[in-house]
Chain A
Amino acid sequence: MFKILSKRLIAPKEYDIWVDAPRVARNGKAGQFVVLRTSEKGERIPLTVAEYDREGGRIRIIFQVVGKTTMEMAQLKVGDSLHDLLGPLGNPSEIENLGTVLMVGGGVGIAALYPIVKELKEVGNRVITILGGRTADLVILKDECAAFSDELLVTTDDGSEGIKGVVTDAMQLLADRGEKISQAWIIGPTIMMKFASLKAKELGIPCWVSLNPIMIDGTGMCGCCRVTVNDEIRFACVDGPEFDGWGVNWNEFMNRMGQYKNEEKISLEKYQSEVGE
């Protein structure tokens, strides 16, 4: 079970894999995630599902190597299996025809944004997508997002592609030309989601962000993933993962993300010394 059926490096340190998981493929929806483990002694990490192949019984996961577990995943070959995979978890995105929607993605978060872009387009929205990254190589899934977007803007910090700048610059650009946007989805690195949410608020655009905090069970049993949204404590695993971006307490979220920084470093270094990296 949970065999890796294909694997592709799509950007520096970013892998695109298809995993055999028929039940998740059958019942999963855009916006949901899985919790997985690589080994018997492994930790449980949440990753958003980028695509479901219901007939083929497989799911697509795009991940970036950021720590021990993702490094271990990067070492797995086609034919190897993940030890455990649980899902689909969390609430699906609310997909309906809202008029014009703005989809903002950054880094590996674009993988989580993509299935929502696709479904929103399929129900008839006018979709404007902004994808951002430090440099052109890091902006993934451009063609796939473009296929389901009426307009696609790319921003890069170094100007290697599209607009030189960050996603909020592109958001301003759209506002300047008078775009009337009913709803935005913003998924990417925390710092990007924070500033893009602030920008959305400034422009009066309601926005969803998809939060990916530290989790253990992923089913509402432990409360490790709690976040404060509009002054209320919520569990990202069962109340989210999407929340009102205007209301997220971003500073607290970032503090909580960093809780195990030291331990994560110890774990990664131990693994690197074991595999000889």
Chain B
Amino acid sequence: MAPKITPKKTPISEQDPVVRGKNFDEVCLGYTLDEARLEATRCLQCKTAPCIAGCPVAIDIPGFIKALAEGDLPKSWEILSDATSLPAVCGRVCPQETQCEGVCTVGKIKGKEPVAIGKLERFVADWKASQPEEAITPPVQDKGKVAVVGSGPAGLTVAGDLAKMGYKVTVFEALHEPGGVLMYGIPEFRLPKEIVRREIGNIRKLGVDVEVNAVVGRTVTIEELRSQFDALFIGTGAGTPHFMNLPGTNLNGVFSASEYLTRINLMHAYEFPVYDTPTKTSKKVVVVGGGNVAMDAARSALRLRADKVTVVYRRSIEELPARIEEYHHAVEEGIVFNFLTNPVEYIGDEKGNLKAVRCIRMELGEPDASGRRRPVPIKGSEFVIEADTVVEAIGQGSNKVLLNAFPELKLNKWGYIDADEKTGATNLPDVFAGGDIVTGAATVILAMGVGRDAARSIDSYIQSKKG
């Protein structure tokens, strides 16, 4: 008989919503050792371990939790790092509620919450970071040379895994800092950049070279890479923002979420003028969309001292794609949600600055191709929201810079790379791909999962070629 399990997760401390709404510091403060060990005892250590199957990188979750409960943190870390190169990141940004925690046996018991697996992962990763640095001797890397294009979650995972297997890996990053969406997309208050830098530092210690300021297809050509490396992995992400193309899209004050967040995260616009890149100090902000990116944009606008931030989403709360935790955080901080609402026009003043957003109310009709009920505009329901800034967070498409320079590479009908989702194999034997550039915008952990699999198929490709 299992010990008595508390129904709720062990509470975790967070910054007060009123305070955190005015700073960019991390919202969640993490467990103490005692809290983490207490939470770890809530794990049943069940034999079926559905959590492992629920994890895209198949972390031995009961294993690391058991070691943690026993107070053996080094062992817990070893188990974690065996499966993931970015545990401090995953513990923070994974949608655990639909993965490991969503299938947790404890969570299936009536009236009980699942084990806080994500928060425990984060705890162990942060504990490791607080320990004195160990000198790591990179493994002998003579099995071959691999070029990784893009330094987001997919690319970093491939690079880390291949380096551990004995390959010399070079990562090419277009921006001035590696990390991809972890650096330019996810805000500091959800994922401190120091943590991203630390995790990339760990991958570098494995002998991985990271070259920034290098756009593949421009700075270095595809031919150069294919002649110099045994294999190529492309993980360039879904980096081109979509716009709704409403009248007034090019007014001053209308942003894509990509621009809005890149200014803030990568370029530190929230620290202007200490950093050179500014953003607009807005009074009334409207964010269009209902995903995590929309939540990030809305909560960033609030932290930049906007008086009012409104999220407009064309479906209802039930269809909201954002993580529920992020939605709750946003509501706590005072962000207003206008469900079943869609913008139809941006209204400007005589100087070309945005002054309002014309919206229309929606209702849900028949299910569409995605299985969700399709939002339909309600005739005559138009209304106006005053706004000096609007941020469109309606998704991204594939970035064409590399793809245009690589016509031999086969794309699918959506313009993403046509790659096997299990192996990352493309129509070219030495070229592999994974992450958002294959699937379209998804999550960090899915990109990492594909990265793991791709690293294995790259290994077998190179070995078979040599053998």
Contacts and interface: CB of A to CB of B under 8 A. Distances in A.
Given A42-B276, A267-B276, A226 B250 contact: yes
A218 B176 CA distance: 12
Taking each of B249, B258, B277, B399, which has the highest tally of chain A beta carbons within 10 Å of its own beta carbon? Answer: B277
Contacts of A11: none
B243 to A, nearest CB: 7
A84 B276 contact: no
B351 interface: yes
Interface size class of chain B, counting residues whose CB lies under 8 Å from the partner chain: 35 or more
Interface string A237-260: 010000000000101100110111
A86 interface: yes
Contacts, number: 121
Q: Is the interface of A mostly helix, strand, loop or mixed?
A: mixed
21 contacts: A23-B214, A23-B220, A24-B219, A27-B220, A41-B268, A41-B275, A44-B176, A44-B277, A217-B184, A219-B215, A219-B399, A220-B239, A221-B240, A221-B262, A227-B250, A228-B250, A255-B252, A255-B351, A255-B352, A255-B353, A259-B252
Contacts of A223: 240-241, 243, 255-256, 258-259
Given A216-B262, A233-B245, A43 B399 contact: no
Contacts of A227: 250
Given A42-B275, A267-B276, 19 more contacts: A27-B218, A37-B176, A42-B276, A44-B176, A44-B277, A84-B213, A87-B218, A88-B218, A217-B184, A220-B400, A222-B258, A226-B243, A249-B250, A255-B252, A255-B353, A258-B252, A259-B252, A263-B272, A264-B278
B240 A233 contact: no
> Considering the complex of A and B, which 8 residue pairs feature the smallest CB-CB distances, nearest first?
A255-B352, A263-B278, A43-B276, A222-B259, A84-B176, A223-B256, A221-B239, A43-B277
Given A23-B219, A24-B219, A41-B275, A221 B213 contact: no
Contacts of B259: 216, 222-224
Given A223-B243, A255-B252, A44 B267 contact: yes
Interface of A: 23-24, 27, 37, 41-44, 68-69, 83-89, 216-217, 219-224, 226-228, 233, 238, 249, 251-252, 255-256, 258-260, 263-264, 266-267, 270
Contact of B267 (A69, A216, A233): A216
B244 to A, nearest CB: 11
Interface of B: 174-176, 184, 212-215, 218-221, 239-241, 243, 245, 249-250, 252, 255-256, 258-259, 262-263, 266-268, 272-278, 280, 351-353, 399-401
A226 B245 CA distance: 12
Contacts of A216: 259, 262-263, 266-267, 277
B402 to A, nearest CB: 9
B215 A221 contact: no
Contacts of A69: 276
A89 B241 contact: no
B250 A233 contact: yes
A238 B278 contact: no
Nearest to A67: B276
B273 A222 contact: no
Given A89-B215, A220-B239, A260 B400 contact: no
B273 A233 contact: no
Nearest to A226: B250
A222 B277 CA distance: 14
A227 B243 CA distance: 13
B241 A222 contact: yes
A212 B34 CA distance: 56
Contacts of B241: 221-223
A252 B250 contact: yes
B205 to A, nearest CB: 22
Contacts of A219: 174, 215, 239, 399, 401
Nearest to B261: A222
Contact of A260 (B176, B256, B267, B278): B278
A221 B276 contact: no
A50 to B, nearest CB: 18
A106 B280 CA distance: 31
A261 B222 CA distance: 40
A85 B176 CA distance: 8
Contacts of B252: 255-256, 258-259
Contact of A221 (B220, B221, B274, B399): B399
Nearest to B259: A222
A89 B218 contact: yes
Given A256-B250, A266-B273, A238 B174 contact: no
A86 B399 contact: no
A228 B239 CA distance: 21
Contact of B400 (A37, A228, A238, A264): A238
Nearest to B397: A220
Nearest to A216: B262
A222 B256 contact: yes
Most chain A CB within a 10 A radius of its CB, from B175, B249, B274, B400: B175
Contacts of A217: 174-175, 184, 262
A234 B353 CA distance: 19
B221 A27 contact: yes
